[in-house]
């Protein structure tokens, strides 16, 4: 499922805020034909005001424009009956030729403004029964990615492997649009939240060495001045690993308004974490928490007596043979580092995202890597070179008994089915989209790294369809 940011939708060029007829048809008209000024006008007039107040109009306009760029024009297959205040449309994306059910959720009471919209995957009916060889898989995937590239709908690098054997790898688009420098297979892309895997492994390595316990308290390692008011003395290492700590998200308004050059080490985040209220009593619920992963990085520093960055480099990157990975300061001269790009409300073209990001990544995300390095990481992980077998398997097992989300372990996402388990992590930020999928049962490894917003989902879906037909 590919979601637009909650609340994102527009109405047609002649559609008033007080009419709720033909919402679905009008959405298609604006998505296919609307210019940027018209998108801004109708988002402002026709979206739920509470959504705009929560996230800001510029965020919704930006995401809409990025999705419009990714999917291209939508061919309507069928307008489905309204259900539970949802307008539903079966569409095919011009850019990727994949089918979706576009859902537009509206307020139940007048004036029936838009709450949110989403592109939900529909199982492809044109999947071929014939099995694919390595050559045919590579050809189909190359054609798919080249088509996206020709429509500016993907910029990045892709790798598909079966164990150690690389079946496909390709890079398209530009690492620097300003200087027309193309992406290549050694280009380093921002990982977004994928760094959470490394932070979790670092903590679990210390558990394996007997230097840390999962039920150790956060306040044993971090001064309480770091933390908001509330039951923070109850927070454990396990809570941080499972997003059940109650700590919130330091990417808040204070961060947005701050000087991003300040974030060169973990101490710079202290005011952001301390000023964000505790959301619930630790261990009682789950909510994805960037602040929680930052705290886990501080624990790694305290226990190992090394900087977080040095520890991860020495005990994860070097062990896995990842020579092109790290949390590189953006004002350093970095070789072959991709710049992120996206669409924003204030510009008619592409916007460079460097000024929206912390100068250096953190335990919560923002480091860089290559498709090859992440392939090597996946092999090291599943061959138990980073952690022993018990802790490795625990890292990517669900933790619902601890009130964690069923799709999350210790720093790893969990998906697929009982016979086709897929673990890994995703990452997304302004001008960043990334995904690592490790197929535990079928031995596939899929790495998708992009320096463009909201472009990974169609590629991930296409790869999943192709490898379901693969026979070695």
CA distance 183 to 169: 12
CB atoms within 10 A of CB 357: 18
Helices (H), 151-222: 195-208
| CA nearest neighbour of 33 among 12, 56, 63, 5 | 12
β-pair type (341-343, 74-83): unpaired
Cα distances from 30 to residues 65, 69, 116, 345, in angstroms, run 11, 13, 16, 16
CA distance 214 to 220: 13
Could you tell me if 138 and 168 are in contact, meaning their C-beta atoms sit under 8 angstroms apart?
yes
- pLDDT for 46 equals 79
Q: Is the dihedral of CA 344, 345, 350, 353 positive or negative?
A: negative
Coil vs helix vs strand at 444: strand
CA distance 40 to 465: 36
Phi and psi based region of residue 408 (left: phi greater than 0; alpha: psi -120 to 50; beta: remaining): beta
Query: Whole-model pTM?
Result: 0.94
SS (H, E, C) 98-161: CEEEEEEEECCCCCCCEEEEEEEECCCCCCCCCCECHHHHHHHHHHHHHHHHHCCCCCEEEEEE
Could you tell me if 182 and 173 are in contact, meaning their C-beta atoms sit under 8 angstroms apart?
yes
β-pair type (341-343, 350-352): antiparallel
- pLDDT for 300 equals 99
* Dihedral angle over CA of 34, 37, 41, 42, nearest 10: 20
- pLDDT for 379 equals 99
- pLDDT for 311 equals 99
**Which domains does the chain possess?**
2-121 (3.10.450), 189-467 (3.40.710.10)
**Inter-axis angle of helices 36-46 and 23-33, to 10 degrees?**
150
- pLDDT for 151 equals 97
Could you tell me if 455 and 154 are in contact, meaning their C-beta atoms sit under 8 angstroms apart?
yes
Residues constituting the chain = 472
Coil vs helix vs strand at 179: coil
Could you tell me if 298 and 291 are in contact, meaning their C-beta atoms sit under 8 angstroms apart?
no
Could you tell me if 362 and 297 are in contact, meaning their C-beta atoms sit under 8 angstroms apart?
yes
Encode the chain (472 residues) as per-residue pLDDT tens digits: 334 443 333 333 333 333 444 778 888 998 999 899 988 887 888 788 888 898 889 988 898 999 999 999 999 999 999 999 999 999 999 999 999 999 999 989 988 888 888 999 998 876 766 799 999 999 999 999 999 999 999 999 999 999 999 999 999 999 999 999 999 999 999 999 999 999 999 999 999 999 999 999 999 999 999 999 999 999 999 999 999 999 999 998 889 899 999 999 999 999 999 999 999 999 999 999 999 999 999 999 999 999 999 999 999 999 999 999 999 999 999 999 999 999 999 898 999 999 999 999 999 999 999 999 999 999 999 999 999 999 999 999 999 999 999 999 999 999 999 999 999 999 999 999 999 999 999 999 999 999 999 999 999 999 999 999 998 7
Residue 81, phi then psi, degrees to nearest 5: -60, 145
């Amino acid at each position: 499922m590919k979601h637009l940011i909650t609340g994102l939708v527009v109405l047609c060029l002649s559609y008033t805020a007080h009419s709720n007829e033909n919402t679905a048809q009008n959405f298609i008209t604006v998505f296919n034909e609307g210019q940027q000024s018209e998108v801004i006008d109708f988002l402002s007039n026709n979206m739920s005001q509470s959504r705009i107040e929560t996230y800001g109009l510029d965020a919704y306009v930006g995401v809409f424009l990025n999705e419009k760029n990714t999917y291209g024009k939508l061919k309507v297959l069928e307008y489905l009956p309204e259900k539970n205040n949802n307008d539903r449309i079966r569409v095919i994306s011009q850019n990727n030729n994949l089918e979706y059910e576009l859902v537009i959720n509206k307020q139940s009471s007048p004036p029936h403004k838009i709450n949110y919209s989403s592109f939900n995957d529909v199982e492809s009916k044109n999947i071929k029964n014939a099995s694919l060889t390595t050559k045919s898989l590579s050809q189909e995937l190359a054609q798919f990615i080249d088509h996206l590239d020709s429509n500016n709908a993907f910029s990045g690098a892709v790798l598909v492997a079966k164990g150690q054997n690389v079946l496909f790898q390709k890079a398209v688009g530009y690492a620097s649009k300003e200087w027309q420098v193309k992406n290549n297979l050694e280009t380093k892309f921002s990982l977004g939240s994928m760094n959470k895997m490394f932070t979790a492994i670092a903590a679990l390595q210390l558990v394996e060495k007997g230097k840390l316990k999962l039920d150790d308290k956060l306040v044993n390692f971090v001064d309480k001045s770091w933390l908001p008011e509330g039951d923070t003395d109850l927070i454990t290492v396990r809570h941080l690993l499972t997003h059940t700590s109650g700590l919130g998200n330091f990417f808040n308004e204070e961060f947005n308004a701050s000087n991003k050059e300040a974030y060169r080490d973990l101490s710079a985040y202290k005011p952001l974490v301390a000023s964000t209220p505790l959301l619930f009593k630790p261990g009682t619920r789950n909510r994805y928490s960037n602040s929680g992963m930052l705290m886990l990085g501080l624990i790694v520093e305290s226990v190992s007596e090394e900087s977080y960055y040095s520890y991860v480099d020495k005990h994860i990157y070097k062990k896995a043979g990842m020579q092109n990975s790290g949390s590189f300061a953006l004002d350093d001269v970095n070789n072959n580092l991709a710049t992120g790009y996206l669409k924003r409300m204030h510009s008619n073209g592409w916007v460079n995202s460097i000024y929206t990001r912390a100068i250096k990544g953190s335990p919560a995300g923002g480091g860089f890597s290559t498709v090859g390095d992440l392939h090597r990481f996946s092999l090291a992980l599943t061959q138990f070179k980073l952690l022993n077998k018990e802790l490795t398997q625990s890292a990517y097992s669900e933790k619902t008994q601890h009130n964690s989300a069923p799709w999350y372990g210790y720093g790893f996402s969990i998906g697929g089915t009982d016979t086709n388990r897929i673990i890994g992590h995703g990452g997304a930020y302004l001008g960043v989209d990334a995904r690592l999928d490790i197929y535990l049962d079928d031995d596939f490894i899929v790495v998708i790294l992009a320096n463009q917003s909201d472009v990974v989902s169609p590629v991930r879906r296409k790869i999943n369809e192709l490898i379901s037909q693969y026979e070695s």
